[in-house]
């Protein structure tokens, strides 16, 4: 048993949902820190495959509305043809996924099936930019060793990031949260970007802590929001991090917000 198992966490490549999200291959950190063209193309292929799997339970009207949401690739929210499904099952086998696991779980009709990324250790960059999550999703208790990027990601149902540990920069720029969103007791050790994010329902940040720069500029909160501002800015935090900054420029709160 490896150490991550002893610590209650599984490695990302042991999580079947992560394997489905990286069906064409895992994106590894580039030595220069700059995203290379190969990684951009790999991310696009992974995102399109994930999104097409996720819309299998949606009707044509719902899929059409998603196409207008972002600048997506043509066909990104279209169901797989029979020929394309054969290729997908081959890829699932190549990624070490259990075919029985996905055949037993009916993504097409089981709308109560939750997406489970919780208790997972992501040692490489977690790149879920533009991914679509139509179901309840949990990242509870996960550790992100490197970057975590959720830019323009759409969470259509409840999503939990409770007690997460973000060791690298995390980006939720222009992400959409359409149901209750929880970041309770999560730790952000570096830059956290929520700029232009939309929280259509409640957003709870109780007990969270940020040790680096936090950007909530132009974020839009349509439901109840709990941001423990006074707790974040206690003197001990400021002494440990001289240049700690939190920005809320032009953010909009449509309902009650607890700071």
**What is the mean pLDDT of each successive set of 10 residues along the chain, which is 259 residues long?**
59 91 85 72 95 89 81 86 89 75 61 88 96 96 97 96 97 96 93 92 87 86 72 38 48 55
pLDDT of residue 250: 55
Measure the CA–CA gap between 18 and 164, rounded to whole angstroms: 16
DSSP element (H, E) containing 16: helix 16-21
Measure the CA–CA gap between 165 and 215, rounded to whole angstroms: 18
- Domain residue ranges in the chain: 10-258
pLDDT of residue 30: 63
* Of residues 8, 5, 4, 3, the one with CA closest to residue 163: 8
pLDDT of residue 180: 94
Sequence-separated contacts (24+) of 242-245 with Cβ below 8 Å? 243/213, 244/210, 244/211, 244/212, 244/213, 245/213, 245/214
Sheet with 181-182: list strands edge to edge: 115-116, 137-138, 159-160, 181-182, 203-204, 225-226, 257-258
Q: Quick: pLDDT tens for 12-31.
A: 998 989 999 999 999 876 65
pLDDT of residue 28: 79
């Amino acid at each position: 048993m490896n150490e991550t198992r002893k610590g209650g966490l599984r490695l990302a490549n042991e999580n079947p949902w992560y394997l489905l999200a990286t069906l064409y291959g895992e994106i590894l950190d580039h030595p220069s820190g700059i995203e290379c063209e190969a990684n951009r193309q790999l991310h696009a292929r992974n995102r399109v495959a994930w999104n097409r799997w996720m819309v299998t339970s949606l009707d044509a009207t719902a899929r059409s509305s998603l196409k207008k949401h972002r600048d997506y690739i043509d066909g990104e929210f279209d169901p797989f043809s029979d020929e394309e499904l054969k290729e997908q099952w081959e890829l699932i086998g190549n990624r070490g996924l259990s075919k029985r696991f996905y055949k037993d779980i009916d993504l097409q009709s089981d709308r109560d099936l939750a997406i489970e990324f919780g208790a997972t250790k992501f040692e490489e960059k977690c790149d879920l930019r533009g991914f679509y999550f139509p179901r309840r999703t949990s990242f509870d208790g996960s550790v992100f060793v490197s970057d975590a990027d959720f830019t323009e990601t759409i969470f259509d149902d409840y999503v939990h990031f409770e007690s997460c540990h973000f060791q690298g920069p995390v980006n939720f720029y222009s992400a959409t949260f359409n149901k209750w969103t929880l970041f309770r007791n999560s730790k952000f050790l570096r830059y956290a970007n929520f700029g232009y994010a939309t929280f259509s329902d409640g957003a709870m940040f109780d007990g969270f802590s940020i040790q680096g720069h936090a950007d909530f500029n132009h974020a839009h909160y349509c439901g109840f929001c709990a941001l423990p501002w006074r707790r974040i800015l206690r003197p001990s935090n400021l002494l440990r991090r001289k240049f700690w900054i939190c920005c809320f420029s032009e953010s909009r709160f449509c309902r009650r917000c607890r700071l």
